[in-house]
């Protein structure tokens, strides 16, 4: 029974190579330099000049994608090896200075 439990745990923690592209929701253009991080770890990468990334992660992990001017996105990998991640622009703050 213990052997079966260990086998089940090893399957659920399987590491896969995840590839993807990060795009702007409004324009559909790729985003260069977005941070793609495996949640709860120090594993991560940055998108290349075409908005692409590749990293290794557990098949059950969650990715966090961040880029200045955009809302952060969290996306469960759920065993997928190819992802298209769409970021939405952050709400803009306008300041008015009154003298």
pTM over 0.85: no
5: confidence class by pLDDT, cuts 50, 70, 90: very low
39 neighbors 31 (Cβ within 8 angstroms): no
Instruction: Write the class of the CATH domain 15-87.
Output: mainly beta
pLDDT in tens, 11-48: 456 899 999 999 999 999 999 999 999 999 999 999 99
8 versus 28: the higher-pLDDT residue is 28
pLDDT in tens, 75-94: 999 989 999 999 999 875 55
């Amino acid at each position: 029974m213990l052997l079966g439990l260990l086998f089940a745990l090893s399957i659920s923690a399987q590491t896969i190579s995840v590839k993807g592209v990060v795009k702007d929701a409004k324009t559909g253009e790729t985003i260069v330099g977005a941070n793609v991080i495996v949640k709860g770890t120090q594993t991560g990468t940055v998108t290349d000049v075409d908005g692409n990334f590749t990293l290794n992660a557990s098949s059950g992990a969650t990715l966090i994608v961040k880029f200045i001017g955009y809302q952060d996105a969290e996306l469960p990998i759920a065993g997928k090896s190819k992802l298209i991640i769409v970021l939405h622009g952050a709400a803009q703050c306008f300041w008015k200075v009154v003298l």
